[in-house]
C-alpha cells in the first residue's frame, strides 16, 4: 500500500553510499529539500492516535476525582486545578515510559516503536550515571537497584494519578526519586522532561500558591526557547522543518525556503523572516502572559501562544514532541486563562523562590553561555537548531559488535528489514545524514568527516541519535547523551579495534559566541583532534561543501 511506503529518493541509495562525500551530500540534501524524511503518510496517523491515547489517559486519570473525567461534561472541569496537576504527573509518567518524545519511526525507532521502560526495567542495559564511579548508583550497566528505583517512581506516579486529590504524601516520593534517578542515569531524568514536569511538581509540594510557581515554569519554557534562537541557526531549522512538513507538500513552496534550489540550499529571505517571527512569538507570549491580568492583553497572549504551538505541532518536527506541545498549550489555558488574577510573585515561599530562580534562571543561563556543561533540555534551548550532536562511523560491519550489549532493540537496519527491502531501508536511513547536514551546525561535517576517517565509503555513517536510541533506549536531539561517556561505556563492553569506530562530537554555539567546537575520537585510542569552526564560515557554505 502506498500509505505504508516511504517516498523513494531521487537517487539509488546503495550507489549513493559509495560516492565521495561532496556528491553524496549534495544528492541527499537536494532530496531532503523537496521530500524531507519521506516517511509514509500512515506514520503521521499513528502519531495522531498516540496523542489521542495521551489525552484519553489524562481523562481516565481525572475520573478518580469526583466531578472530573466525564467526556460529556469536559467543558466544566478541564481547567480545574486538580485536572492540571494530574496532567503534569500523567505527562511525566507518559514520557518516562518512553511513549512521548523520541518514540516511533520519526526518531529512528521502528520495532519496537518505543524504548523507555523496555530498557529502564531491564538489568544489564547501558546507562549514563552522572558520576560513573559513584558507589551504588554508578557504573555503566543498569542494576536491579536502578530498576527498582525507576519502578518505584512509576508506582508513585500511578498512586498519585489514581487518588481523588493530590496531597503531599503523593508528591514526596516523586520529588525525591527523580534526583536519585538522575544521579543513576541521566537518560531517565531527561526522558521524564524533568526541567518542566519535576520542577512543576516541586511547586505543587512547596509553594503556598502553586499556580504562581507553575506559571513561572511555563514562562521560563517560552522565554529561554526564544533566547536560544538569538543566533544564525534557526533559519536552517525552518527550512528543514518545512521540507519535512506532512501538510506543506507543494514543491514550489519548499523551494522558496532556499536561496536558489538546487544550487544554493542556504536559507532564503522567506525562511529567515519565518525564523524571526518564531523567535518574536517565543518572547512575545511570555511577556504578554506575565503582565496580562485579563481582558484584551490576555486574549492577545493566548492567540499568540496558539499561533506558535499550532505552527510547531502541525509541522511534526523530528523528535516528535507533540504531547509536550499539547501539555504546554493546555497549561496556558489552565494557568493563565483560568487564573489571570494569580501572578508569579504570589508564590508564598521565599525558599522555593530561590530554588526556582536557580532552576529557571541560573541553570538555563549557564546552559546558554556554556552549552557543553548543560543539556539543551535542562537549559530549555528547544528546537533552535543549535544543538550538540555526534556522528559515529563504524568500519565495515562494525555495528554488529553492538550485539554484545544488552538492549531491547536491534540495529536500525534490522528493524527496517521487517518492513522493507534493503534498498528502501537504506534510502530512509540515508536521509538522516541529510537532516544533519542541512542544519547550520551540520555544515561542519564536510570538514570534519575527512579528518575522522580516510575514506567515508569504507564506514557506515550513523547519527548519534540512532546509536543512543538503540543503546540507551531513549533519544531526543541531545548530543550530550551520545558523546564521550557513551563511547567509553560502549567501548568497555564491545572492544572496538583502532580505526574500527571513530566519532565526531560537535558542541553548541555559546550565546554571544562566534564558533562551535568539535572533538574527534577513536574508540580504542582516544582523542585524535579537537578545535573550533567559525560560524561565519559555516554560513557561507553549502551543506555538502568544505569550502
Q: CA separation (Å) from 442 to 42, 107, 135, 186, 332?
A: 29, 18, 38, 25, 34
User: pLDDT tens across 450-474, in order?
Assistant: 999 999 999 999 999 999 999 999 9
Q: CA separation (Å) from 266 to 138, 238, 240, 443, 533?
A: 45, 11, 11, 11, 18
List the chain residues with pLDDT less than 70.
1-3
> Helices in 399-471 by DSSP H: which ranges?
412-416, 422-438, 445-452, 464-471
Residue 513, burial from CB neighbour count under 10 angstroms (0-12, 13-18, 19+): middle
Q: Domain containing 389: what range?
A: 2-38+383-539
Q: What are phi and psi of 265, to 5 degrees?
A: -100, 25
User: pLDDT tens across 127-138, in order?
Assistant: 999 999 999 999
Q: Is residue 43 part of a domain?
A: no
The predicted structure's pLDDT at residue 39: 84
Q: How many CB atoms lie within 10 A of CB 398?
A: 21
Q: Is residue 295 part of a domain?
A: no
Domain total in the chain: 1
Q: Is residue 387 part of a domain?
A: yes
Q: Is residue 248 part of a domain?
A: no
Q: What share of the chain is helix, strand, coil (3-state, %, to 5)?
A: 60, 10, 35
The predicted structure's pLDDT at residue 3: 59
Residues 6+ apart with CB under 8 A from 206: 349, 351, 352, 355
Place of cell 538546487: 262
Q: Grid coordinates standing for 102?
A: 523520541
The predicted structure's pLDDT at residue 2: 57
The predicted structure's pLDDT at residue 312: 87
Q: Is residue 499 part of a domain?
A: yes
Q: What are phi and psi of 471, to 5 degrees?
A: -90, -40
**d(Cα 183, Cα 200) in Å, to the nearest integer?**
20
Q: Is residue 497 part of a domain?
A: yes
**d(Cα 401, Cα 492) in Å, to the nearest integer?**
12
Q: Is residue 296 part of a domain?
A: no
The predicted structure's pLDDT at residue 338: 96
Q: Is residue 206 part of a domain?
A: no
Q: Grid coordinates standing for 407?
A: 538492549
Q: Is the pTM of this model over 0.75?
A: yes
Residue 115, burial from CB neighbour count under 10 angstroms (0-12, 13-18, 19+): buried
Q: What are phi and psi of 465, to 5 degrees?
A: -60, -40
Amino acid at each position: 500500500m502506498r500509505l505504508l511506503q516511504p517516498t523513494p529518493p531521487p537517487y539509488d541509495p546503495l550507489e549513493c553510499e559509495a560516492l565521495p562525500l561532496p556528491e553524496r551530500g549534495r544528492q541527499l540534501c537536494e532530496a531532503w529539500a523537496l521530500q524531507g524524511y519521506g516517511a509514509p503518510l500512515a506514520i503521521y496517523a499513528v502519531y495522531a492516535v498516540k496523542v489521542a491515547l495521551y489525552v484519553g489517559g489524562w481523562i481516565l486519570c481525572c475520573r478518580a476525582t469526583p466531578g472530573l473525567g466525564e467526556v460529556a461534561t469536559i467543558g466544566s472541569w478541564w481547567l480545574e486545578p486538580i485536572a492540571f496537576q494530574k496532567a503534569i504527573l500523567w505527562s511525566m509518567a507518559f514520557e518516562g515510559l518512553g511513549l512521548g518524545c523520541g518514540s516511533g519511526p520519526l526518531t529512528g525507532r521502528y520495532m519496537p516503536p518505543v524504548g523507555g521502560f523496555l530498557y529502564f526495567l531491564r538489568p544489564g542495559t547501558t546507562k549514563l550515571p552522572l558520576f560513573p564511579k559513584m558507589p551504588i548508583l554508578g557504573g555503566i550497566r543498569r542494576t536491579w537497584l536502578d530498576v527498582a528505583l525507576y519502578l518505584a517512581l512509576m508506582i508513585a506516579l500511578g498512586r498519585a494519578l489514581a487518588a481523588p486529590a493530590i496531597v503531599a504524601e503523593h508528591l514526596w516520593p516523586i520529588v525525591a526519586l527523580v534526583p536519585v534517578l538522575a544521579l543513576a542515569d541521566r537518560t531517565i531524568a531527561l526522558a521524564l522532561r524533568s526541567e518542566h514536569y519535576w520542577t512543576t511538581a516541586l511547586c505543587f509540594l512547596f509553594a503556598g500558591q502553586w499556580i504562581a510557581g507553575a506559571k513561572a515554569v511555563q514562562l521560563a519554557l517560552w522565554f529561554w526557547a526564544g533566547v536560544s534562537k538569538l543566533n544564525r541557526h534557526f533559519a536552517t531549522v525552518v527550512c528543514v522543518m518545512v521540507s519535512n512538513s506532512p501538510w506543506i507538500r507543494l514543491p514550489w513552496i519548499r523551494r522558496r525556503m532556499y536561496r536558489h534550489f538546487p544550487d544554493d540550499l542556504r536559507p532564503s529571505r522567506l525562511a529567515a523572516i519565518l525564523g524571526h517571527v518564531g523567535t518574536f512569538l517565543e518572547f512575545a507570549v511570555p511577556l504578554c502572559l506575565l503582565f496580562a491580568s485579563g481582558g484584551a492583553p490576555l486574549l492577545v497572549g493566548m492567540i499568540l501562544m496558539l499561533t506558535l504551538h499550532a505552527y510547531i505541532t502541525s509541522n511534526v518536527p523530528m523528535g516528535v514532541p507533540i504531547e509536550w506541545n499539547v501539555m504546554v498549550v493546555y497549561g496556558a489555558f489552565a494557568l493563565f486563562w483560568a487564573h489571570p488574577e494569580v501572578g508569579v510573585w504570589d508564590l508564598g515561599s521565599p525558599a522555593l523562590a530561590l530554588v526556582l530562580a536557580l532552576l529557571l534562571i541560573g541553570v538555563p543561563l549557564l546552559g546558554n553561555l556554556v552549552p557543553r556543561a548543560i543539556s539543551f533540555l535542562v537549559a530549555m534551548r528547544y528546537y533552535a537548531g543549535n544543538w550538540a550532536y555526534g556522528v559515529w562511523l563504524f568500519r565495515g560491519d562494525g555495528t554488529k559488535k553492538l550485539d554484545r550489549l544488552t538492549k531491547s532493540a536491534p540495529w536500525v537496519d534490522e528493524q527496517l528489514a521487517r518492513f522493507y527491502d534493503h534498498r528502501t531501508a537504506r534510502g530512509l536511513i540515508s536521509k538522516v545524514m541529510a537532516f544533519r547536514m542541512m542544519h547550520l551546525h551540520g555544515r561542519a561535517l564536510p570538514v570534519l568527516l575527512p579528518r575522522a576517517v580516510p575514506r567515508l565509503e569504507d564506514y557506515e555513517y550513523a547519527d548519534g541519535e540512532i546509536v543512543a536510541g538503540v543503546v540507551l533506549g531513549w533519544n531526543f536531539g541531545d548530543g550530550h547523551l551520545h558523546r564521550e561517556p557513551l563511547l567509553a561505556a560502549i567501548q568497555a563492553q564491545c572492544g572496538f579495534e583502532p580505526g574500527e569506530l571513530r566519532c565526531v562530537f560537535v558542541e553548541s554555539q555559546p550565546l554571544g559566541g562566534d564558533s562551535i567546537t568539535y572533538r574527534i575520537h577513536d574508540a580504542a585510542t582516544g582523542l585524535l583532534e579537537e578545535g573550533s569552526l567559525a560560524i561565519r564560515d559555516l554560513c557561507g557554505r553549502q551543506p555538502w561543501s568544505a569550502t
